[in-house]
């Protein structure tokens, strides 16, 4: 028969508070196991819990401005979407970025379809014209794939 431990409600509140604080500050999930190796309870931060819908996608304020990225990398969902929109296949992406798995790329695309308006806004904001506008610059295209940035007042 399994061993049973009894703790007071005060101890339970204190220990739960300590666990929650630890998760908050370290961002490391905590697994509470009663028996065996499979956790019966997993405590994660709210941000990480929200990200469980897309296992391979996460956000970190210090990486790419908090944009959604592929977990363990600095590759944004936006970048994967831009590659696909430019005609690259998943296999092309895997060949170019061999440290990624097909599951990661597919999850990035799945995230895009679940959050299309957000990612489309990021793509639009990253267009050269949009990036240069606040700097008082405009693009002057001179050939396919070639452009000069000029002051908006220049002719």
Where helices occur in the chain by DSSP H, the ranges are 9-26, 46-50, 77-85, 90-96, 102-114, 116-125, 128-132
The CA distance from 10 to 91, in Å, is 55
Q: What is the pLDDT of residue 1?
A: 41
What 15-22 contacts at long range (C-beta under 8 Å, 24+ apart), as own/partner pairs, is 19/43
Q: What are phi and psi of 151, to 5 degrees?
A: -60, 140
Q: What is the pLDDT of residues 87-131, one digit of tens each?
A: 999 999 999 999 999 999 999 999 999 999 999 999 999 988 888
Q: What is the pLDDT of residue 46?
A: 64
- For 7, 34, 43, 128, 129, the CA distances from 14, given in Å and listed in that order, are 11, 19, 15, 53, 54
- pLDDT block averages, 10 residues each, the chain of length 155: 60 78 75 67 68 81 91 95 96 96 95 94 90 87 87 72
């Amino acid at each position: 028969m399994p061993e049973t431990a009894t703790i007071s409600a005060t101890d339970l509140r204190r220990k739960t508070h300590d666990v929650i604080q630890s998760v908050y500050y370290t961002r490391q999930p905590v697994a509470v196991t009663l028996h065996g190796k499979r956790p019966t309870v997993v405590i994660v931060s709210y941000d990480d819990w929200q990200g469980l819908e897309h296992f391979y996608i996460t956000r970190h304020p210090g990486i790419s401005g908090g944009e959604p990225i592929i977990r363990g990398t600095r590759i944004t969902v936006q970048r994967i979407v831009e590659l696909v929109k430019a005609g690259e296949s998943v296999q092309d992406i895997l060949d170019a970025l061999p440290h990624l798995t097909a599951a990661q790329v597919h999850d990035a695309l799945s995230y895009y379809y679940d959050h299309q308006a957000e990612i489309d806004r990021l793509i639009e904001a990253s267009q050269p014209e949009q990036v240069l506008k606040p700097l008082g610059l405009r693009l002057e295209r001179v050939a396919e794939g070639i452009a000069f940035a000029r002051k908006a007042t220049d002719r």
